[in-house]
Amino acid sequence: EHIANQIAAGEVVERPASVVKELVENAIDAGSTRIDVAVEEGGLDSIRVTDNGSGIDPDDCETAFYRHATSKIAEGRDLFQIISLGFRGEALPSIAAVSKVRVVTSNEQDGRGRKIEIEGGNLRVNEETAAPKGTDFLVRELFYNTPARLKYMKTIQTELGHISDYMYRLALSRPDIAFTLRHNGNTLLQTLGNGDALQVIAAIYGTQSAKAMMKIEAENMDYTLQGYISRPDFTRANRNGMSLIVNGRYIRNYGLMQAVLKGYHTLLPINRYPLVVLQLSMHPSLIDVNVHPSKLEVRFSKEPELFSFIEEAVRNVLRQEIL
Ligand code: ADP
Ligand code: MG
């Protein structure tokens, strides 16, 4: 069991950012509207994720750390979920196998909760404690018992970069959730969770950038698009500020990116790039099954139609702005 968990951990927990991702996804699944992430030394010293979600039933708390103890039943609706089924119920045991975990959780408003501490997969504490509703995960000394893995960790800045990239993408995909990210006590991200994508853009890129955004909205039989794209007088030297979100998930798709640029560049020089955040909704059947959500790459079943829809939408906003 221990060995199995350590092997599974190798697949699920690659680096501190993977721990952040798994814990934050659990917090989202638990219906949290506020999720605070605090890491020390790029997450190698500690990772703390605090949420105001459903909490874990005291009687289920220990079992949540056994393999395949998922409480989530796949409904078969969301393609992204189907694809990630392989990892269902493996995150907590995997993380606990290679670190020192403390969780404090309560699923009631009565202030009573449960505290569990696990070190390298061994249960150390399981007791009643006072706790607000929600869950507070603290993961310390990641890979302390797997030195081979620890050796592969890059600099603190690199590990922090992976964490903040993930948090930025998530905040852009979920403007309805209030996120904070802190590193060694410094706040790197703070969103309000009021559903306003522009506020998230301001939090990540600064208020000047947010002020330079034009609203973009378009709809046809298959697709609904909304988002923001920067005015022609506010462009960037690279495409790092281009975010695509499909059905609430941050994705990468080269063609979609090109479609945005084509629409933008019909009226503008081609060596500059917009800051852009696009939220696209479509029926899941229009997303190709050959996707790898772990790599964020997605294909679509009707790419030419989708790409010209996007290109047109971008060109329209730009034309309105210029004329
Ligand atoms: P999965 O997310 O695939 O179900 P995990 O190992 O990530 O598996 O989590 C195991 C279980 O622990 C979850 O199914 C859930 O019931 C519970 N859990 C984990 N984190 C939280 C949280 N932040 N809030 C509420 N429940 C949680
Ligand atoms: Mg999970």
Averaged pLDDT for residues 78-94: 67
Q: Residue with the nearest Cα to atom 20 of ligand 1?
A: 26
Question: Which DSSP state fits 292?
Answer: B
User: Does this complex have an ipTM over 0.95?
Assistant: yes
Q: How confident is the model at residue 292 (pLDDT cuts 50, 70, 90)?
A: low
User: Measured in angstroms, how far is the CA atom of residue 61 from the centroid of ligand 2?
Assistant: 14
Phi and psi angles of residue 271, each rounded to the nearest 5 degrees, phi first: -100, 10
pLDDT score recorded for residue 271:
81
Q: How confident is the model at residue 79 (pLDDT cuts 50, 70, 90)?
A: low
How much is the pTM? 0.92
Q: Do 180 and 36 form a contact (C-beta atoms < 8 A)?
A: yes
pLDDT score recorded for residue 25:
93
Number of helices followed by number of strands (H, E) in the chain: 10, 15
Is there an atom of ligand 1 within 6 Å of 96 CB?
no
Is there an atom of ligand 1 within 6 Å of 85 CB?
no
Is there an atom of ligand 1 within 6 Å of 30 CB?
yes
Q: How confident is the model at residue 85 (pLDDT cuts 50, 70, 90)?
A: very low
pLDDT score recorded for residue 86:
46
138, two tokens: 């603290």
pLDDT score recorded for residue 2:
72
Q: Which of 26, 36, 90 to mutate to test the pocket of ligand 1 (most atoms within 8 A of CB)?
A: 26
Ion ligand 2: residues, CB within 5 A, are: 26, 91
When mean pLDDT is compared over 50-54, 85-89, 231-235, the highest value belongs to 50-54
Is there an atom of ligand 1 within 6 Å of 135 CB?
yes
Burial of 322 (0-12, 13-18, 19+ CB in 10 A): exposed
Is there an atom of ligand 1 within 6 Å of 63 CB?
no
Averaged pLDDT for residues 185-210: 97
> Pick from 302, 313, 317: which is nearest to 222 by CA?
302
